């Protein structure tokens, strides 16, 4: 029998159904479990806690498949997980059969498949595996996913550096059916997008900003909008749909800006009301400051500034600097929608950073809304680490 026993007093998080077991919490490992093997987990007093996937190379030594229940981690297990995820998404208004819908079907620990992310883009799925458990069972997961969704293709995007921490090599490619080399269409709240599943950021796109993009569109009427780190222009497209007077899209990627321009035409939006600039956002904001330029609504959606705990202080400085620059560009009554996708930074710290930026900018701003993950990115109450996206909408008080 393969099992692990936790140290005395280290079972509290498991009892509360937190899915991670760190190496320092383990007292004894029995049965010589190998990469991805299922192990029974016991408290120091002998109480059974659940079944977990073992990862000998990771600081997160095991991740729970089940709590207080013995189960075979087989095809039937994954059928149940994927069927449940589909039912939950359907109950929240996401259609698994709509050939143009896009949403996150499996959000790792929060949907009972730790370390596995499955995103739907139209008739195709993009999968990212970040942990030993789903890596060991990947072929079964893909088989079940194909059967339960009748999709046309599944593409594996296992290209994250995080895989190294689990002792896994990077890997990507088609694992079922066919996935076009050209971008595939999907629709979001009336806007049509073209998603490059093979080469786009993350699994192809940032589905987690769906609700925020819609809200920016609602706020953009007759406003001069600056969309920083725009990628393929999602916030800007919704701003133009919302009748913005002009939208400025800024990103360092020439290829992403090319797609942003194409999407204007695809959605029949006024190209004359959009300007696309290939530039480093920090430098762009400084140039705008030096020229005395202002904007009515600014969106700051930067990449992750904090990759590890020892990067937190440096990342905090980055968030502060860029928000300070943006605040200086706000017109009277101007709004700033600012985001962080760094999971290691909680909302309280992020809000403090924004407040410090306002103090240094000598600006008085009010929080008028908060942003988070949409309903296809649920967060288990016992797993706050699942809440990585946070955002604030602040307005200049004159």
| Catalytic machinery residues | 341
SS3 state of residue 326: helix
3-class DSSP state for residue 87?
helix
Q: Which of 86, 110, 106 is nearest to 98 (CA)?
A: 86
CA distance 141 to 116: 10
Q: Could you tell me which residues come within 8 angstroms of residue 6 by beta carbon, excluding any fewer than 6 positions away?
A: 14, 21, 25, 26, 27, 41, 42, 43, 44, 49
Q: Which helix (H) or strand (E) holds 241?
A: helix 234-241
Give the integer Cα–Cα distance in Å for 181 and 171.
Answer: 17
**Residue 113, CB half-sphere, CA atoms under 13 Å: how many?**
30
Expressed in angstroms, the distance from the first to the final Cα of the chain is 68
d(CA 382, CA 269): 43
Q: What's the token pair of residue 385? A: 């680490």
Cβ neighbours, 10 Å, residue 222: 10
């Amino acid at each position: 029998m393969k099992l692990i026993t936790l140290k005395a007093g280290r079972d509290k998080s498991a009892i509360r159904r937190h899915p991670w077991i760190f190496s320092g919490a383990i007292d004894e490992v029995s049965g010589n479990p190998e990469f991805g093997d299922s192990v029974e987990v016991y408290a120091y007093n002998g109480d059974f806690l659940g079944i977990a996937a073992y990862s000998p190379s990771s600081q997160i030594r095991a991740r729970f498949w089940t709590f207080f229940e013995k189960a075979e981690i087989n095809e039937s297990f994954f059928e149940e997980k994927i069927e449940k995820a589909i039912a939950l998404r359907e109950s929240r208004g996401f259609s698994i059969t709509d050939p143009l819908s896009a949403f996150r079907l499996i959000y790792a620990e929060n949907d009972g498949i730790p370390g596995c992310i499955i995103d739907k883009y139209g008739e195709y799925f993009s999968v990212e595996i970040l942990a030993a458990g789903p890596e060991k069972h990947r072929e079964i997961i893909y088989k079940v996913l194909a059967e339960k969704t009748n999709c046309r293709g599944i593409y594996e995007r296992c290209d994250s550096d995080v895989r190294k921490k689990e002792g896994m090599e990077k890997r990507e490619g088609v694992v079922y059916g066919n996935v076009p080399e050209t971008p595939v269409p999907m629709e979001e709240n009336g806007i049509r997008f073209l998603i490059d599943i093979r080469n786009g950021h993350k699994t192809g796109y940032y589905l987690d900003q769906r609700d925020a993009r819609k809200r920016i569109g609602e706020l953009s009427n007759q406003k001069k909008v600056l969309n920083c780190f725009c990628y393929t222009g999602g916030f800007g497209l919704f701003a133009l749909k919302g009748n913005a007077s002009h939208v400025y899209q800024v990103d360092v990627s020439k290829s992403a800006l090319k797609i942003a321009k194409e999407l204007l035409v695809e959605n029949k939006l006024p190209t004359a009301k959009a300007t696309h600039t290939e530039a480093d956002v920090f430098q762009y904001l400084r140039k705008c400051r030096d020229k005395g330029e202002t904007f009515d609504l600014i969106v700051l959606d930067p990449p992750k500034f904090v990759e590890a705990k020892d990067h937190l202080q440096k990342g905090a400085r980055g968030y502060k600097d860029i928000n300070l620059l943006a605040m200086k560009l706000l017109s009277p009554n101007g709004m700033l929608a600012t985001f962080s996708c760094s999971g290691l930074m909680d909302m309280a710290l992020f809000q403090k950073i924004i407040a410090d930026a306002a103090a240094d900018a000598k600006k008085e701003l009010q929080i008028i809304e908060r942003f988070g993950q949409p309903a296809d990115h649920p967060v288990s109450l016992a797993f706050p680490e699942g809440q990585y996206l946070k955002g604030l909408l602040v307005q200049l008080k004159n």
